[in-house]
Amino acid sequence: MSKTLGNVVDPIDTIQEFGTDALRFTLALGTAGQDLNLSTERLSSNKAFTNKLWNAGKFVLQNLPNQDDASAWETVLAYKFDREESLVQLPLPECWVVSKLHLLIDMATASYDKFFFGDIGRETYDFFWGDFADWYIEASKARLYSSKGDSVASVAQAVLLYVFENILKLLHPFMPFVTEELWQALPQRKEALMVSPWPQTSLPRHANSIKKFENLQALIRAVRNARAEYSVDPGKRISASIVASEEVIQYVSKEKEVLALLSRLDVHNVRFTNIPPEQSVHLVSGEGLEAYLPLTDMIDISAEVERLSKRLSKMQTEYDGLRARLSSPKFVEKAPDDVVRGVQEKAAEAEEKIILTKNRLALLRSTILVTE
């Protein structure tokens, strides 16, 4: 920044627009020894992060037991996460998020000792937004809103509270105002966040549970992608058949409600089997875990055949035009090399799309024949 150039950023104006915590966090994310481009895009992004943190706090608070319910609080506080035997007894999503938190605490503590503030900020940002908010909070709803009662909800309440309060501790040096406000709002607080103990390091983590949940995440992403590809209505619940080895089915089937909730599947029509069904969209998520989604659940097959036929005709016309250009000696000899390469790449891409579309059409037409 330079007064001569007139590009000085007034911190007071910036705070009024984006907030003190967002400004502090943005500055701290810079790499030591390098200049930081203090752009409004960075500030806006970190203001959104502050809002996300606040909204996550509201969700946690709204789903904790009533402060007057001593029995419920006794159950929640009975969960301990500092012993390996207690950690491995948790359900898979809970064991995964607590294990990831413990890894983050060790990394953040070591980085704070070395003054690597940018590393801490980025890792904590990714864990909070990517793991906790996008995945665990959503997965916890399968427990919190379960018809099985408070016994199922209590483990989610305990983990939500434990993980969120540790996130606040890790972020407090960066964002002291919003974290202190959220901490004070949490029940059972005996002291301010500023003077509370730093999280304990070298806590247990279960690598196998992390791997298993990542496998489940891959399956959920595959189903979501298939729904988007076939333009399935977001509110529509579809059935699915999950095919895997007995070992994989054993832990995936225990999280049937989580899988159904995050993939928008019909929980009553999620089946686990070793035999793949016919006339379905086949999804491979890795680690020997596959899913089959019935086409009739997702789309109007006749309408989709008509749509894809028109699309295939258009793609074929475009492909023929590209091939005609490449077959012309005048074009190949006179056009610049980069232009010829560009047309070749477009032709190869168009050919791949035509093959995929033909395969999908063949599957849809075979489904119509079987139905008839």
* Residue 370 or residue 217, greater confidence: 217
pLDDT value of residue 372: 45
Cα–Cα distance between 221 and 130 in angstroms, integer?
14
Confidence of residue 274 (pLDDT cuts 50, 70, 90): confident
pLDDT value of residue 31: 65
The burial class, CB within 10 Å (0-12 / 13-18 / 19+), for 167 is buried
pLDDT value of residue 157: 95
pLDDT value of residue 149: 64
Confidence of residue 10 (pLDDT cuts 50, 70, 90): confident
pLDDT value of residue 345: 92
Q: Is 4 a residue whose pLDDT tops 90?
A: no
Closest CA to 242 of 221, 229, 223: 223
Report, as an integer, the average pLDDT of 7-21.
Answer: 87
pLDDT value of residue 368: 58
Percent of the chain with pLDDT over 70: 95
The whole-chain average pLDDT of the chain stands at: 89
Q: Which residues pair with 294 in a beta bridge?
A: 280
Greatest Cα pair distance, the chain, in angstroms, is 85
Q: Assign 3-class secondary structure to 36-80.
A: CCCCHHHHHHHHHHHHHHHHHHHHHHHCCCCCCCHHHHHHHHCCC
Could you report the per-residue pLDDT of 213-269, keeping only the tens digit for each? 999 999 999 999 988 888 888 888 999 999 988 889 999 999 999 999 999 999 999
Closest CA to 91 of 208, 205, 209: 209
Q: Is 369 a residue whose pLDDT tops 60?
A: no
Could you report the per-residue pLDDT of 136-168, keeping only the tens digit for each? 999 999 999 887 666 789 999 999 999 999 999
Contacts of 26 (CB under 8 A, 6+ apart): 36, 38, 42, 43, 46
Confidence of residue 308 (pLDDT cuts 50, 70, 90): confident
Contacts of 58 (CB under 8 A, 6+ apart): none
Of 222-236, 275-289, 320-334, the range with the lowest mean pLDDT is 275-289
pTM exceeds cut of 0.75:
yes
Confidence of residue 371 (pLDDT cuts 50, 70, 90): very low
Could you report the per-residue pLDDT of 172-205, keeping only the tens digit for each? 999 999 999 999 999 888 899 999 999 999 999 9
Contact 170, 53 (CB under 8 A): no
pLDDT value of residue 163: 97
Contacts of 313 (CB under 8 A, 6+ apart): none
Cα–Cα distance between 13 and 19 in angstroms, integer?
9
User: Virtual CA dihedral for 77, 83, 86, 89, nearest 10 degrees?
Assistant: 140
Q: Is 287 a residue whose pLDDT tops 70?
A: no
pLDDT value of residue 329: 87
Could you report the per-residue pLDDT of 24-56, keeping only the tens digit for each? 999 888 766 677 777 888 899 999 999 999 999
